[in-house]
Amino acid sequence: MTRLKTMQFFTLLFLVGLVGNAYASDAEDELADFLSWCVIGGVPFIGIIVYWLVHYLPDTIAKKRKHPQRDAIQALCRVSGIFGGFLWPIAFVWAHMKPVVHEVVYDPQDGLVKLHPKVKSETNQVGHD
């Protein structure tokens, strides 16, 4: 037991000596310079990557859900990237919405475009005419 404590003491003394030498040999300044250059170069790079991944998140969601309007959502993400992300919430909500598809039928007798009867009956159930 005494031998183990003696080894621990000399190991601690050795480590303290290394730290003391590091302060004396300007290794701390070199380490600080290295870390500052890593931060100056790395943080903007990582920030750009994170911005890019989050910015195209609506497109990824639309692709995963097989959204029929995925191309439009992707275009909105690109336009939003140009304008600083102001349109991003719209693309995010749009990617999560379930699209409503209405079948439109042209009636040649009246010359009017009408909703398909099946869709029209569904809209009447909701309370719309």
Summarize pLDDT for 75-105 with one digit per residue, the tens: 999 898 888 888 889 999 999 988 776 666 6
- On whether both 86 and 106 belong to a single domain, the answer is no
- On whether both 127 and 75 belong to a single domain, the answer is no
- On whether both 78 and 106 belong to a single domain, the answer is no
- On whether both 75 and 25 belong to a single domain, the answer is yes
Q: What is the pTM of this model?
A: 0.52
The rounded Cα 34 to chain-centroid distance in angstroms is: 29
- On whether both 93 and 107 belong to a single domain, the answer is no
Give Cβ neighbours of residue 16 (< 8 Å, ≥ 6 apart).
none
Dist CA 94 CA 96 (whole Å): 5
- On whether both 94 and 113 belong to a single domain, the answer is no
Dist CA 13 CA 16 (whole Å): 5
**Strand pairing of 104-107 and 112-115?**
antiparallel
- On whether both 107 and 96 belong to a single domain, the answer is no
pLDDT digits (tens, 9 = 90+) for 14-50: 666 655 555 556 777 888 888 899 889 889 999 999 9
Tally the domains of the chain.
2
127 lies in which domain range?
101-129
- On whether both 110 and 66 belong to a single domain, the answer is no
Q: Are 95 and 73 in contact (CB under 8 A)?
A: yes
17: tokens are: 């000596």
- On whether both 121 and 89 belong to a single domain, the answer is no
